[in-house]
Amino acid sequence: MPELPAVERARRMIDALCKSYRRINVQSAPDPKHASEFVDKLFEGRLGLDLLERRVCVGHVLRQLGRHGKNLWFEFDEPPHVFVRFRMAGSFVVRGHEDGYVYETFRRRTAACRFHDSGTPLVSVWPPKHTHIVFSFAPCSPGVDSASINGISVREFALVDPRKVTRMRLSDSSCPSVEIRSLIGGFDALHALPPIERFERKMLVYPKANIKSLLLGQRFIAGLDNWMVDEVLYYAHIHPESRTCDLTRIDVAALHQSIA
């Protein structure tokens, strides 16, 4: 499962590489025979391959890449904007970026190397295996210097998900950040932790909820995974099966501090 820190690092990486760049192409899948199937799964059958290519393969400029919980959105100068919802798997792989800052490029041995010794170096393959969709960006103006990554001037990144559970959708909203926050409901655990008074008031909306279940649910707080919740409760000295109505103010303060 992609964790919150990994999703945030991916957001920062792609935002730094592609912000103010123009989208020039979207490749739905490396294998044309399975392209429609990949798009149907990725967009839950609500967007056909032809419509995807007509609506997304246009020269819109990326304004910013936002994140709320483990949900990302690509905000362009004109709709449609692209929303990405990670589930049990999924990651972005940046072409040519192999320093391990976000995700190391997926690699495999070439056919010529399969019969050699195990010390044969691995080679990068693009697009990676299990790619669902590839975005390509280029400078808005030919005169703009496109600082390349390992000699690659066009910025490309792929959504890779072996389990095929990541979901995407297009939005015509004028303010995608407000839309995605209204859909999720919970505040972002990394950048939008509210003051303790508002934190406590929102928690008491669910008086009989199990505290661990509440922290895992996206309606209260967005982005925490199972191991993160265990760590938060451990350092706050709160039993995972405690109900929110049984927590004291000292417990709530410790919980707030542990998340922060």
pLDDT (tens digit, 9 = 90+) per residue, 175-228? 888 887 777 778 898 888 999 999 999 998 998 999 999 999 888 998 888 889
pLDDT at 98: 56
Q: What is the DSSP letter of 69?
A: T
Q: Which helix (H) or strand (E) holds 136?
A: strand 131-138
pLDDT tens for 93-114 read 888 765 443 343 344 434 444 4
pLDDT at 144 over 80: no
Structure tokens at 10: 């991916």
Confidence of residue 1 (pLDDT cuts 50, 70, 90): low
Domains and CATH numbers, the chain: 4-184 (3.20.190.10), 187-259 (1.10.8.50)
Structure tokens at 213: 């279940």
Confidence of residue 33 (pLDDT cuts 50, 70, 90): low
How far apart are the C-alpha atoms of 146 and 88, rounded to whole Å?
A: 35
pLDDT at 237: 95
What pTM value is reported for the model? 0.77
How far apart are the C-alpha atoms of 206 and 193, rounded to whole Å?
A: 18
pLDDT at 103: 40
Q: Using alpha carbons only, give the angle 226, 82, 64 rounded to the nearest 5 degrees.
A: 90
pLDDT at 32 over 80: no
